[in-house]
């Protein structure tokens, strides 16, 4: 069978994630890995989930937990999420929430819903690799979104028209973004709303790390700022994508979209066509655990991850040679390094794995145009102090030897 003869044109744009491939290195015990942006499994509330699964599968409750469910998602969980959204300035109801199989599925649905071939998506430079992977299947072009110093709306529109489509939405992660760890200022968030209003496009706000703030002042989400302007979520163009993957357990694959009922209803149709609904049992146990201990558990995560971030920043200051710079994130799981000009992150990784046994993610994959090869991403979430000290010592030594 010559499969290329029957594949859709979009399949040529679907490539293996460099991060997913690098996760395979975690099985090699001699590798010091800063690659996967994954939670530390030692911090999972395993006992609470064990009890919640037992409760969900006991007696008469088991029938509901193992049965088909509504596409919108388990209502008590949607109500809990709506209450949490209200705490961050987004008053809404369960009808404004769609449960998805992780926020990654939400990005896929949004791409399917809004992107026609040759349409333009505005993204950061760099941006989340998983978002590019989700959107690429729908054959868009990309243009650079820089909220702090944006170009005129007419410039975006003209470039999109020249590419054969129109701008459909702006995608950004405003808190401790993957991969840079940086936070978008309030004024820049307001500027994105202004741009979207002027162009009549949507905003996709990826909030996977929103709860993991360690210091600095919390800034309202874009959706909250837009509601403050317009009075109701039903009048807003922002779609907020949340997830329990970084706060509770990624293996359960429970995320959500919060938006106006009109677009939620359209996304429900996507859900019905794709997988009918997210796993019922997983939604029930996620609600049980979140309702009982979300705030306390997240506080524990903040304490542990903040210490690891601080240790990594200190190690970088101590071990990196002149010419290397890095971000100082206020939360999340990542630090972004810029290498000396002319040094390539992918080549550095190959050499590092060969001689130093230190893994990280080369930065080029996070750029829609494949540029900026002299960058890399470090994740500190699963590295203890000894691993950070030794890993940065080795990596700094290697960079110094290649200068």
| Containing structural domain, residue 17 | 8-45+295-402
Q: Total structural domains in the chain?
A: 2
214 and 304 in a single domain? The answer is no
Q: What is the pLDDT of residue 344?
A: 96
33 and 54 in a single domain? The answer is no
119 and 167 in a single domain? The answer is yes
275 and 307 in a single domain? The answer is no
147 and 238 in a single domain? The answer is yes
Answer yes or no: is 3 within a domain. Answer: no
142 and 200 in a single domain? The answer is yes
41 and 52 in a single domain? The answer is no
Q: What is the pLDDT of residue 14?
A: 61
In order along its 403 residues, the chain shows pLDDT tens digits of 877 778 777 776 666 655 556 666 666 788 999 998 899 999 999 999 999 999 999 998 999 999 999 999 999 999 999 999 999 999 999 999 999 999 999 999 999 999 999 999 999 999 999 999 999 999 999 999 998 887 899 999 999 999 999 999 999 999 999 999 999 999 999 999 999 999 999 999 999 999 999 999 999 999 999 999 999 999 999 999 999 999 999 999 999 999 999 999 999 999 999 999 999 999 999 999 999 999 999 999 999 999 999 999 999 999 999 999 999 999 999 999 999 999 999 999 999 999 999 999 999 999 999 999 999 999 999 999 999 999 999 999 999 999 8
CA dihedral (116, 119, 121, 125) in degrees, to 10, reads 130
Q: Where among 263, 293, 323 does a domain terminate?
A: 293
Q: In 3-state terms, what secondary structure has residue 171?
A: strand
Answer yes or no: is 2 within a domain. Answer: no
309 and 273 in a single domain? The answer is no
Answer yes or no: is 34 within a domain. Answer: yes
CB 74 within 8 A of CB 244: no
Q: What is the pLDDT of residue 149?
A: 81
Q: pTM score > 0.85 for this model?
A: yes
Q: What is the pLDDT of residue 180?
A: 98
Query: b/e for 280-293, b at 16 or more Cβ within 10 A?
Result: bbbbbbbbbbbeee
Q: What is the pLDDT of residue 27?
A: 66
CB 337 within 8 A of CB 326: yes
Q: What is the pLDDT of residue 147?
A: 85
Q: What is the H or E stretch that residue 286 is in?
A: helix 280-319
Q: Where among 293, 313, 336 does a domain terminate?
A: 293
Alpha carbon 135 to its chain centroid, in Å, reads 13
């Amino acid at each position: 069978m010559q499969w290329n003869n029957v594949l859709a044109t979009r399949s040529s744009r679907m490539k293996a994630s460099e991060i997913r491939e690098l996760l395979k290195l975690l099985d090699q015990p001699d590798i010091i890995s800063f690659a996967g942006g994954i939670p530390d499994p030692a911090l999972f509330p395993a006992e609470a989930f064990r009890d919640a699964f037992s409760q969900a599968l006991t007696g008469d409750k088991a029938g509901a937990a193992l049965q088909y469910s509504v596409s919108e998602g388990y209502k008590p969980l949607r109500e809990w999420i709506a209450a949490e959204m209200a705490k961050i300035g987004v008053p809404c109801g369960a009808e404004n929430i769609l449960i998805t199989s992780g926020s990654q599925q939400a990005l896929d649905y949004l791409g399917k819903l809004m992107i026609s071939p040759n349409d333009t998506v505005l993204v950061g430079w760099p941006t989340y690799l998983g978002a590019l992977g989700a959107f690429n299947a729908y054959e868009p072009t990309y243009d650079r979104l820089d909220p702090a110093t944006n170009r005129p709306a007419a410039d975006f529109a003209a470039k999109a028209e020249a590419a054969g489509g129109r701008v459909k939405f702006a995608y950004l992660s405003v808190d401790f973004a993957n991969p840079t760890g940086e936070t978008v200022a309030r004024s820049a968030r307001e500027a994105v709303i202004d741009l979207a209003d002027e162009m009549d496009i949507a905003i996709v706000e990826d909030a996977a790390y929103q709860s993991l703030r360690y210091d600095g002042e919390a800034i309202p989400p874009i959706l909250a700022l837009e509601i403050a302007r317009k009075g109701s979520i039903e009048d807003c163009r922002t779609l907020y994508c949340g997830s329990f993957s970084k706060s509770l357990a990624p293996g359960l694959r429970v995320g959500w979209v919060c938006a106006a009922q009109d677009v939620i209803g359209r996304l429900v149709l996507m859900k019905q066509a794709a997988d009918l609904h997210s796993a019922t049992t997983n939604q029930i146990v996620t609600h049980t655990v979140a309702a009982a201990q979300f705030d306390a558990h997240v506080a524990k995560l903040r304490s542990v991850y903040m210490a690891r971030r601080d240790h990594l920043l200190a190690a970088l200051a101590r071990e990196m040679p002149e010419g290397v710079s890095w971000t100082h994130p206020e939360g999340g799981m990542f630090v972004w390094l810029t290498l000396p000009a002319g040094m390539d992150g992918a080549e550095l990784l190959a050499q590092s794995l060969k001689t130093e046994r230190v893994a990280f993610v080369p930065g080029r994959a996070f750029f829609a145009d494949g540029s900026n090869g002299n960058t890399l991403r470090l994740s500190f979430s699963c590295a203890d102090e000894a691993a950070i000290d030794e890993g940065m010592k080795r990596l700094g030594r290697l960079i110094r030897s290649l200068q």
